[in-house]
Each structure stands twice: as structure tokens, then as C-alpha cells.
Amino acid sequence: MRSLMIVVLIISAWITLPLPSHAEPSPSSADGASLFTLHCAGCHPGGGNIVRRGKTLKLRDLKRQHVDSVEAIATITTNGKGLMSAYSERLTPEEITIVSNYVWQQAQQNWKQR
């Protein structure tokens, strides 16, 4: 009986011990897809726009809005435009560049899944 109690105590202690936590990568070390998923995909799933249908991140719509470069995307991401909020207080300049490059690359590929 005593052996059973010891085994139960060991198993209970093992189950209740916290697992070591793995450090999450900092947002600044994240890639464009991760940043987009975290900060942009809520309104722009798959490059669309759930708020304003005609203002998507598809190449055709970007060009119609005179957003024709990574820099133009970064400017809008930084400062906001219309209903889109500015992200200058949520993302570092490096992260804005990374996510803007990702958006431009995806627009060039018509937002096809990899």
C-alpha cells in the first residue's frame, strides 16, 4: 500500500509541475506572413477587405488607389488612411517594412496560397 501511495504522489507531482515555457519569437523577428496574420488578416483575409470591398490588397485595387510600391504600402500602414488605422504605435518601422514587402509580394502573386 505504501508503494502505491508513493507512486500516486510521484505521478501527481509530475502532472502538476509546470512545463517549461518556450520563448515566443518577438514580433520584430517574425516573418511577413506572421505579422500579416497577427495584425492585418482580421480585416484583410486573403488580401481582401471586409470593411471596404473595393479597397482590397489585390494588385488591381492597389494600383487603382495609386498604391504601387512597397513604400506606398508602408506609408499607409504607418499613417493609416480613411477607415484604416495607423500602425506606427503597434509595429516597429522594421516590422512595417517586412509586412509591406509581404503584402506587395502577395499582391504580385494574386494572393495565392503557398
Which tens digit of pLDDT belongs to each residue from 11-68? 665 566 565 544 444 444 469 999 999 999 999 999 999 999 889 999 999 999 999 9
User: Residue 69 corresponds to which amino acid?
Assistant: S
Cα pseudo-dihedral 38, 39, 45, 50, rounded to 10: 140
d(CA 89, CA 77): 11
pLDDT at 112 over 90: no
CATH number, domain 27-108: 1.10.760.10
Mean pLDDT of the chain: 84
- Tens-digit pLDDT profile for residues 56-109: 999 999 999 999 999 999 999 999 999 999 999 999 999 999 999 999 999 999
Nearest CA among 106, 110, 88 for reference residue 37: 106
**Which DSSP state fits 29?**
G
Per the confidence metrics, is the pTM higher than 0.95?
no
Query: 67: which 3 cell numbers?
Result: 498604391
